[in-house]
């Protein structure tokens, strides 16, 4: 029961489906008009949902949980509904909402409830916030306690800035974006509309740029990072994830990019629209990823690489060269009992020598076959 509304604020099921922007999903309520009039005050799982909540079935293997479900309504596919009725001919206590994409519909309903929750939160400027005189704050902006907003910042309508956030000079944030507590935007960072930045996010720190300085043995000269960071619309960035500013040009995250917690995006990277990354991914500088890429947790990318559109990288994979063809790529050494792993690793370390020996054997075999062929011809003659 993550979200509950008071009974007098709960919408009817039919109203909720319209309000949650489920147009195009082909949803329908099975049953009479009374089903559409059911009041829905929240969302719950099949096992926990109460008589004023809606639930969903997206995994057919959980069909058995429908038998004891106490929800007011359940979202499920037509084939799952038919399978349920085939083994349970009696009309269930819950109303069936038929939809080809139950999980997506659940996501849209959850968004509706969360927007409703946020609309009820207080808005205003906390007296402890420090805001530069020339910063521009549009209508409906909320700034929490101890936040700092520097000179030249522009915050669009409906932006929420959590407690302890820092927004650096000449940065901007688009409409209806949400920054949770302790988000840091360095100077010159631009965030699009409806972004969600979780606690600990840092956008615009210096990229790791240094030039060897032979004047002192082993020394490095810092390369000033003069670019910025640009974040598209509908981007979500998880807790403690960092995106470095560009050395000269901006680091860019496209529209709809989703980043999990503890991800590192290096300077001058360009991440295409709707690409998603799981936790602990590391992307070295000047890497370009196409659109709709899916990156598994703890994957690693060397610098100056290019990934095409629709590339899927399995978790833990190290990518050291360009991948331009769409598809799934995996480079993970399988887990094994430690002793067996050591033996396998030792063999892998000898692959170059084994390859040389194999090629030598192939050449020797080819030469022997050629000699036998010549002798055979002479015998015929």
Structure tokens at 217: 């043995």
Beta carbons of 80 and 63 less than 8 angstroms apart: yes
DSSP string, 199-266: TT-EEEEPP--EEEETTSTTEEEE------EEE-TT-EE-TT-EEEPPSSSPEEE-TT-EE-SS-EE-
283 sits in which H/E element:
strand 282-283
Residues 6+ apart with CB under 8 A from 101: 25
The whole-angstrom separation of Cα 137 and Cα 125 is 10
Number of alpha carbons in the 13 Å side-chain half-sphere of residue 227: 24
CA distances from 273 to 86, 197, 261, 373 (A): 43, 17, 19, 61
* 187 in catalytic set: no
Q: Which residues pair with 191 in a beta bridge?
A: 173, 231
The whole-angstrom separation of Cα 33 and Cα 69 is 21
Of 267, 304, 312, 343, the active-site residue reads 267
306 sits in which H/E element:
strand 306-307
Q: Which residues pair with 295 in a beta bridge?
A: 277, 313
Beta carbons of 251 and 235 less than 8 angstroms apart: no
The whole-angstrom separation of Cα 345 and Cα 365 is 29
Which residues are catalytic, by number? 267
């Amino acid at each position: 029961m993550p979200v509950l509304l008071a009974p007098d604020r709960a919408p009817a099921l039919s109203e909720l489906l319209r309000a949650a922007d489920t147009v195009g999903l082909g949803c329908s309520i099975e049953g009479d008009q009374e089903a559409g009039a059911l009041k829905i005050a929240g969302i719950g799982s099949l096992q926990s949902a109460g008589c004023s909540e809606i639930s969903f079935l997206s995994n057919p293997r959980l069909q058995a949980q429908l038998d004891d479900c106490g929800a007011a309504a359940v979202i499920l596919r037509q084939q799952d509904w038919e399978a349920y009725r085939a083994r349970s001919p009696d009309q269930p206590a819950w109303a069936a909402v038929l939809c080809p994409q139950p999980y997506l519909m659940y996501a849209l309903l959850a968004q509706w409830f969360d927007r409703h929750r946020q609309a009820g939160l207080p808005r205003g400027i906390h007296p402890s916030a420090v805001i530069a005189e020339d910063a521009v704050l549009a209508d409906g902006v909320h700034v929490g306690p101890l936040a700092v907003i520097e000179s030249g910042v522009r915050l669009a309508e409906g932006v929420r800035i959590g407690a302890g956030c820092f927004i650096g000079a000449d940065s901007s944030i688009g409409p209806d974006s949400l920054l949770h507590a302790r988000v840091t935007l360095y100077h010159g960072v631009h965030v699009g509309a409806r972004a969600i930045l979780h606690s600990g996010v840092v956008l615009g720190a210096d990229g790791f740029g240094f030039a060897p300085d032979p004047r002192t043995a082993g020394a490095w000269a810092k390369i000033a990072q003069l670019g910025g960071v640009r974040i598209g619309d509908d981007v979500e960035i998880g807790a403690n994830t960092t995106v470095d500013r560009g050395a000269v040009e901006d680091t860019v995250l496209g529209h709809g990019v989703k980043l999990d917690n503890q991800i590192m995006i290096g300077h001058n990277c360009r991440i295409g629209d709707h690409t998603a990354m799981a936790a602990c991914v590391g992307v070295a500088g000047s890497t370009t990823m196409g659109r709709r890429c899916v990156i598994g947790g703890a994957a690693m990318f060397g610098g100056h690489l290019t990934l095409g559109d629709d590339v899927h990288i399995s978790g833990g994979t190290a990518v050291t060269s360009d991948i331009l063809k769409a598809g799934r790529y995996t480079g993970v050494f399988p887990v094994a009992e430690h002793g067996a792993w050591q033996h396998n690793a030792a063999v892998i370390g000898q692959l170059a020598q084994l390859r040389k020996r194999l090629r030598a054997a192939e050449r020797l075999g080819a030469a022997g076959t050629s000699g036998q062929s010549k002798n055979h011809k002479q015998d015929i003659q």
